[in-house]
Structure 1
């Protein structure tokens, strides 16, 4: 039990960052991490002894997040009470805040599989192998998704047209 706590406890801040980046809602992210930790503790005996606890925990949180995102897409968008009242409406004037907002929007616009890889590699500093293990995909797929995700983020931050940033080719009529 002490071994489990020593492995899990240092990972909690990284799990919270990842969950917040995926869900963009502090309360929902904290609930997600709580559920993930509860699942990990309850199924600790199922963990592979030769596997990375870090990858295993990120896989649990990732899978729970995907399930929740699927549920919320079926249920429709959730409008927080603060948004309904217009409380907190106001845009920051600083350029850095605008860039941060634009980056979050561009990140949110990425397909889920690219967003997950970009967050795990770039924010959580997992190796390609750890990401591959956590998401149950080949390392080549990790590298491909990371490359495409970073390119889409770059194009979005440079103000590229939406179709170009989404990777959709421009179509033109040929006569």
Structure 2
């Protein structure tokens, strides 16, 4: 039988896997990130101060692991995943799998600090305060990053449109 502490950690694994998969967009690397997070959490269990949810604490550990890997990857630019992304999205009609792939690519184009805040709030449904505690930034920074991430995703979803100039553009701006 598992201890209550162990059961709390095990209950968080699906959320950790989902978050890791969205962060790194590669199943194997995501599983490695979850594994490293769980190992670190278990080895430092005595350090957890039980001031909040264990889930937020685990996401904080994962955040730190992700940032550490990102910094290491920056020192090796040939391994960068951003170079492999296409410049323009392919939006096929009536095809959910491709739309999901496109959304994942858009998420990967976001700066990591914006992507992680967006995922923790929108997918994992953590409160702004929990996100701030998990990634170690002020509440205002969480709100700012979330706002910028949402704006950038909206811009990406609109895609490149025709450039309008002159009277037609002025009329379009005045529509109420």
Same fold, TM-score > 0.5, yes or no: yes
- CA shift for structure 1 position 69: 1.6
| Aligned twin of 2:30 | 29
Taking the aligned partners of 1:110 and 1:16, their CA distance within structure 2 comes to 20
Taking the aligned partners of 1:160 and 1:114, their CA distance within structure 2 comes to 22
| Aligned twin of 2:88 | none
- CA shift for structure 1 position 140: 1.5
Report the number of matched residues: 151
After superposition, the C-alpha distances for 1:50-73 in whole angstroms (9 at most, x for unaligned) are 232111100101110111122122
| Aligned twin of 1:139 | 139
Structure 2 stretches of 5 or more lacking a match?
85-90, 162-176
Structure 1 stretches of 5 or more lacking a match?
84-90, 162-175
Task: Summarize the Cα distance change of 1:160–1:127 in structure 2 as closer, same or farther, 3 Å threshold.
Answer: farther
Provide the alpha-carbon RMSD of the alignment: 2.2
Given the two structures, how large is their TM-score scaled by the length of structure 1?
0.79
Matches within 5 A, 1:148-167: 148-160=148-160
- CA shift for structure 1 position 152: 0.5
Greater alpha carbon shift after TM alignment, 69-78 vs 15-24? 69-78
After superposition, the C-alpha distances for 1:70-126 in whole angstroms (9 at most, x for unaligned) are 2122123449xxx9xxxxxxx987433332222112111111111110010011111
- CA shift for structure 1 position 160: 4.1
Given the two structures, how large is their TM-score scaled by the length of structure 2?
0.78
**Secondary structure of 1:126's aligned partner:** coil
Matches within 5 A, 1:44-55: 44-55=45-56
Between structure 1 and structure 2, the one with the greater Rg is 2
After superposition, the C-alpha distances for 1:21-55 in whole angstroms (9 at most, x for unaligned) are 11111011111111110111110000012232111
Taking the aligned partners of 1:160 and 1:92, their CA distance within structure 2 comes to 16
